[in-house]
Structure 1
Amino acid sequence: MTNPTTYSNPPVELPLRLEGDPHPVPGCDVCEALSAERSDARTTGNMSKVSDVNVELRNHPHRKRRRA
């Protein structure tokens, strides 16, 4: 017989972040292409691709970065 695994603390629950889609920077060809790609992915129901494109838009160099 084996001993069941027990934990001293309950599991950590992380909040679900619903920030919405990032907006493309007007006049940026890369942002506009990513936005079109996201629209196509949403139209076909590929929400994984929508999420991936949102990450790309958020990390695109237009946003201000914190200094370390």
Structure 2
Amino acid sequence: MVWGLWQQAEQRDPFPVYDADPADPDCDVCVALVAQRTECYWLRDLSGAVDCNVEIRRHPHAGVYR
């Protein structure tokens, strides 16, 4: 039996979704974005999950310099 190259290659996601920096648990906006990101993961909406990660990273907090 001859195997094709596509059967020997390891299958990986070329665009993995990484979570943003830890969100502030005391911030209502961060809590809402984390909930929305979790829902996007469940719906397999990776574009929406990435959008939530970007908003979490860019969300300003008092006294935190990014």
Task: Check whether TM > 0.5.
Answer: yes
Percent identical among aligned pairs is 42
In structure 1, stretches of 5+ residues that fail to align are 1-17
Greater RCO (Cα-Cα under 8 Å, separation 6 or more): 2
Larger Rg over CA atoms:
1
Superposition RMSD on alpha carbons, in Å? 1.9
Q: Which one is further off, 20-29 or 39-48? A: 20-29
In 2, distance between residues paired with 1:19 and 1:51?
7
Q: Which runs of 4+ in 1 moved over 2 A?
A: none
2:28 matched residue in structure 1: 29
Structure showing the higher helix proportion among its residues: 2
Contact kept in structure 1, 2:19 and 2:53, CA below 8 Å: yes
Count of matched residue positions in the alignment of Structure 1 and Structure 2: 48
